[in-house]
């Protein structure tokens, strides 16, 4: 009889441990599954971003390879306060300098934020860049003016 009671108690303990484990394991398994899904989504986004970045670099390289005609070209774009006029200098088929010629209606604080694009255009050898956050309209005007000037330089 004593052995029967010990076996029954052992069986009850084993069942209790199994039930407790199930209560912990099932929610944990769901958490692990959710984490794995998020990790897979993050990896897919990283791959998509890498592909987009590679495409942008290829486009910039193609533009650089196509070469621009040497000279200084002027382009006009619409910014926050009106027209922005840029001067783009091409030497050896590459963009060497981008300057703002005039931007009479632009707010100076927005324009100064957007001016960071001038060096970025030279570095990227392209006007296909993202706008500057906080100076979106001025940035858009600068990029539009640069594209217009580069279009003239590629003819």
Say how many residues make up the chain: 155
Domain boundary among 31, 66, 101: 66
Whether 52 and 74 share a structural domain = no
11 shares its domain with 56:
yes
22, 92: one domain: no
Q: Average pLDDT, whole number, for the chain?
A: 87
Helix (H) / strand (E) containing 88: strand 83-91
Do 47 and 20 share a structural domain? yes
pLDDT band at 66 (very low <50, low <70, confident <90, very high): low
22, 47, 66 - which closes a domain = 66
Residues 19, 75: one domain?
A: no
Give 86-110 pLDDT, tens digit per residue.
Answer: 999 999 888 999 999 999 989 888 8
Question: Domain range for residue 50?
Answer: 1-66
**83's tokens:** 């027209």
How much is the pTM? 0.58
- The domain boundary residue, chosen from 43, 66, 89: 66
CA contacts within 13 A on the Cβ side of 46: 6
Domain count of the chain?
Answer: 2
Residue 89 in tokens: 């200098």
Q: For the sheet with 71-78, list strands across it.
A: 71-78, 83-91, 94-102
> How crowded is residue 86: how many other Cβ atoms within 10 Å of its Cβ?
29
**Residue 50 burial (CB count, 10 A):** 10
CATH number of the domain residue 107 falls in: 3.90.1010.20
Q: In whole angstroms, how far apart are CA 87 and each of 42, 101, 121, 152? A: 41, 6, 12, 12
pLDDT at 65 over 70: no
């Amino acid at each position: 009889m004593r052995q029967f009671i010990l076996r029954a108690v052992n069986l009850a303990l084993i069942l209790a441990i199994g039930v407790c484990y199930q209560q912990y394991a099932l929610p944990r398994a769901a958490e692990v599954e959710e984490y794995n899904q998020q990790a897979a989504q993050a990896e897919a986004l990283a791959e998509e971003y890498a592909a987009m970045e590679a495409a942008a670099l290829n486009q910039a390289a193609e533009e650089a390879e196509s070469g621009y005609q040497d000279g200084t070209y002027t382009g006009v774009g619409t910014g926050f306060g009106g027209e922005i006029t840029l001067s783009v200098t091409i030497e050896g088929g590459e963009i060497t300098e981008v300057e703002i010629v005039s931007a009479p209606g632009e707010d100076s604080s927005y324009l100064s934020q957007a001016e960071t694009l001038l060096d970025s255009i030279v570095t990227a050898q392209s006007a296909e860049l993202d706008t500057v956050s906080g100076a979106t309209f001025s940035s858009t005007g600068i990029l539009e003016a640069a594209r217009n000037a580069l279009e003239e330089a590629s003819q």
